[in-house]
Amino acid sequence: MSTEPSTPASTTPVADYLDRPARGATEDHLVVPRSLAQSMPLRWQQVFVGLLADLHDAYGDLPWPDYRVVPSRWELLVDLDEEQLAAAGYHADLGPDGDLEYRDARDEPVADPAAHRVLAPVDDPLPRPSDGRVEPRPAAPL
């Protein structure tokens, strides 16, 4: 009887998963849209709540701040309106030659604004929790 070599399970599965491109994940945080979490099948919600309760119980003594989550996307600097520019830390003014000049928060000019991407606030494309249940995509057939 042959046995296949076993690969040890990772000791950092959350980091392993979130270190690859994952929706809602940044280097420091994981955002789970509430409307989608509340739309999960009942069993998933029960497991998810259990995990959240364990997390909050284990780390509830730490000084958690309040978080403000801003829906954002990577956009070209030249495609942003004045409000988005300000929120991303940039501004645009007419330069001495009459062309639009983009500057960063240190008032340094942006060399190629047509190719410069920034994380800018956008309207949230996901439904709000008050909109009701969001039907999940059906699973692919086996």
Q: Are residues 33 and 49 in the same domain?
A: yes
Would you state the structure tokens that stand for residue 31, as one six-digit string?
A: 């955002």
The whole-number pLDDT of residue 129 equals: 87
CA distance 111 to 136: 43
Q: Are residues 63 and 17 in the same domain?
A: yes
Asked, for residue 138, whether it belongs to a domain, the answer is no
Q: What is the pLDDT of residues 9-60, one digit of tens each?
A: 889 999 999 999 999 998 999 999 999 999 999 999 999 999 999 999 999 9
Strands 117-121 and 72-76: antiparallel
Asked, for residue 90, whether it belongs to a domain, the answer is yes
- Quick check: 115 and 64 in contact, CB under 8 A? no
Asked, for residue 45, whether it belongs to a domain, the answer is yes
Asked, for residue 141, whether it belongs to a domain, the answer is no
Q: What is the pLDDT of residues 79-137, one digit of tens each?
A: 999 999 999 999 999 988 888 999 999 999 999 999 999 999 999 999 888 888 888 88
Tell me the pLDDT band of 3, cut-offs 50, 70 and 90.
low
Q: Which residue range(s) make up the domain with 56?
A: 13-67
Q: Are residues 51 and 80 in the same domain?
A: no
Count of structural domains within the chain: 2
**Strand, coil or helix: 116:** coil
